[in-house]
Amino acid sequence: MERCQKEELCRAALRARENAYCPYSHFAVGAALLCRDGRVYTGCNVESAAYAPSVCAERTAFCKAVSEGARDFAAIAIAGGPQGEAPREACPPCGVCRQVMLEFCGPDFAVLLAWEETAWKEVSLQELAPMGFGPGNLEKEDGSRAYV
Ligand code: THU
């Protein structure tokens, strides 16, 4: 991935962050998910007065993408920080979002933790979720699914 493409993805995450609905935590997060075919799906966190139904920015983006038929992902940019301020440091994804990444993405999936459109820390999914449990763990040696 070229640097300018990464900058574009970080910019999209920062823009999506402006839509964050976070009246309880006041912590605003945006995400931009890049498909291998070039499509980009964005998301923000959407909180709930009942707290538990709150959804992270990353999962909003994955649900939008998967529900539109996308399955093949190259990278995600994530930008988070206190609402009303520019992010000042990398915001790493929560464990539940890492698990969703393991469902759809391989070890080389690129995760850009952005605080500006020209400043991010890049990590692979392998680094974020070593020894993760994914769809492959449900496969038997003959390629069939363990649960069928
Ligand atoms: N949050 C995200 O949207 N993504 C992350 O990577 C970390 C946390 C949200 C969840 C909640 O709405 C708020 O940030 C504070 O935890």
**Ligand 1 pocket check: which of 18, 62, 94, 113 to mutate, most ligand atoms within 8 Å of Cβ?**
94
- Residues 48 and 20 sit within 8 Å (Cβ to Cβ): no
Instruction: Order the strands of the 40-44 sheet from edge to edge.
Output: 40-44, 27-35, 73-82, 110-116, 119-124
Q: What are the structure tokens assigned to 74, written together?
A: 């190259």
Catalytically active residues are 58
pLDDT of 68 strictly over 60: yes
Cα–Cα distances in Å, from 75 out to 34, 55, 105?
5, 20, 9
pLDDT of 147 strictly over 80: no
- Residue 144 is predicted with a pLDDT of 79
Using one digit for the tens of pLDDT, what is the confidence trace for 79-138?
999 999 999 999 999 999 999 999 999 999 999 999 999 999 999 999 999 999 999 999
- Residue 146 is predicted with a pLDDT of 67
- Residue 72 is predicted with a pLDDT of 98
Q: How far apart are the first and last CA of the chain?
A: 38
- Locate the ligand 1 atom nearest the alpha carbon of residue 46 and give its number: 12
CA distance 141 to 78: 36
- Residue 21 is predicted with a pLDDT of 98
